Every structure is written in structure tokens, then in C-alpha cells.
Chain A
Amino acid sequence: MNLITARAIVEALIFASSEPLTIKTIAEITELDVRTAIQIVAELVDEYRHQQRGIQLLEVAGGYQFGTLPECAPYLEKMQKVPRSSGLSAAAIETLAIIAYKQPITKAEIEAMRGVSVESSIANLVDKNLITEVGRKDTPGRPILYGTTKQFLKHFGLNNLTELPQVMDWEKQGKLNFEEIAEVKNDV
């Protein structure tokens, strides 16, 4: 397998995968070493970027995925056969924001912050696979701790949680730093 066909294979793999493909998986499947895989992917990203294509190679949720250019969106909207994800309600996205920035967090903690019941928001978000149980809090009743999923990262176009836009003076209050969360996630 020379470098040109390796590139073609990596391109085909990323193209065919319905999920962002990690360097690790790419290396595993192609039997390339990780460094070569990284190099090939970087070359592909560059190529797509500089060829004025309608497609770009994106880094999302810790992996690589093809997507269209935002500039093409008005035309794509006109196309009927394009499945779009349904939007979230205002209440659900507020609950999701709290979970994203404060994870891991319990339902009661979110309710205290929002001042309303978040039962249905949480059910909705779990259903959409944007949040998930990440553990139990070591307090009486051992309430469920929620965190965001890989799908969350994908939905919001983030590579990892550190890419969440900064909210002034807020992150500091988080109970776990993001690297730790990332570790927990990977173990799940």
C-alpha cells in the first residue's frame, strides 16, 4: 500500500463512516502507523480546504468527518431529501447548557439552577442521545449524574468539551475539569 492509495483508502473510510472516524480507528483498519495516519488526514484536510470544494473534512467529537461548506447551506435547504435534526425546545437547550458546562451534575442541581422541574427536558435530551448517565453522586440517595455525549459534540460541532465557548467567570465553578470528564467518557 503506497501513500497515494493509503490516502484514497483513508478518504473512503471517512466518507463511508456514519460517525466521525478517529485516527486510532483509521490506523487500525489501514494498518498504518498513527503518525502516517495523522499525516494523511492532515493532507486531506488541507487538500479539501484549498480546492474550493463544496465538501470539507471536519474534526468533530474527536474524529474526522466530511461535511458541506456552510456557504452551501441555502442551496441544501432547498433540497428536500436532506434529513435535518429536529431542533431543541428553549427549555431543553437551557438544561443542556447547564449540563454541558457543569457536568457531571444531578437533576436536583439543575433544577436548583433553573428554578423549574427539568424532568421532561432530561428525558428528552437522553432520548436524543445528547446527554447520558455518567455515574452516581456520592450523596444520600445516590442521585444520577448526567454528562454530555459524543452526539452532543457532533450536534454542536465541537471536537471536545474544551471547545465549549467560554462563559465569563463560570467554568471555574465546575466540579470536574474537562480532561477528567473526557477520561470518564472514554471509559464508558
Chain B
Amino acid sequence: MLDVDFFRRWMAAAAAAVDREADRLTELDSAIGDADHGSNMQRGFAAVTAVLEKEDPQTPGAVLVLAGRQLISTVGGASGPLYGTLLRRTGKALGDAPAVTDQQLAEAFASGVAAVGQLGGAQAGDKTMLDALLPGVEALGTSYAAAREAAEAGATATVPMQARKGRASYLGERSIGHQDPGATSSALLIATLAESYERGGGGS
């Protein structure tokens, strides 16, 4: 079972990963966007860390709902509402259980990803975060490691795509040949989920 500590560790690992990779994310966003994805994610996850510390939520669902709300309130841009919705909807789907199964998380995460699709109107192949999230959540039914690999492969697969959503779509064909920053951060988010699982298991 995955308890509240597991979800805190995940968020902490995500914050650390985003910190570490911020420059790379911004660099990717320079090529086909506006050079802020790294600092957006950094600002958001720093705020998540702070609010989790301060409000000390007691269930997996509460952790993710709070984290999502905080992203919405601090990130802005396209990624703020989208990542905020991802975590909030995932958290809502987890309800108020004190601990959840791998299977429950996989299902809840799937509903979070679906909400991202609905909110942003993007589909697989549009060169967005969904290109990492969709394969990632699909493989989550198999294993965390498989999810990580699938998400990473999904992010890499955005390189040859022409963007059809978000800022990169303004570039038309010039968006081809660059990896999507949001897909890259989504792969990070799923990698830190796998990492949290491998490092400490479900915590119980």
C-alpha cells in the first residue's frame, strides 16, 4: 500500500528533480517556446514543498489535491493549470483513504491525465506533455519502471513531431526537431514516482 509518506516523498523527489533539471527545461522551452518552463516548474514545486510542510495533509488524496491547487495558484502559464489539474484530479480520485494500492494510483492517475486532455484539448501526437503522460499512465498498469521508460520514450518521441498545441504550434514546421519541454517534465514526474517507489516501496 502507498501511504501519505509515499506521496510526500514523491512530491519531494519531483521538486528536487525539477530543481536539478530547471535549466534544461528552460533551454528546451527557448527553442520552441518562451524560455520559462524550468522556472515555472521550479517556482511551482517550491511552493508545493512549502505548503505540504505547512498544512501537513494526512491522506494521499489530500497531498495531491493540495499540491495541485498550489501549482494552479503559483505557476501560471499553460503548465500551471495543466499540472495542477493533473495532481488535483488524481488526488480527488484517490478519495480520503489513508493508503492506496498501486492499482488505485494507476487508475486515479489515468483520470488525472484524462482531465489534462480535456482541459487543454490536446491529443497524442500534438507534441505536448500528453505525449509522455499517456504512454506513462498506460504502462503504470504493468510496473513503475515500465511507466518511467514509457514516459521517457514518449518525451523523446516528441522530437520529430510538429506541435499542434501550445506556444510551439506558432512555429509551424520550425517546431520539428526539438523535444517538448512539457513532455520532458512529465517524464520527470513519472520518473520520480518510480524512484520513490523503488527507494522506499509503498511505505508499509
Q: Do A and B come from one complex?
A: no
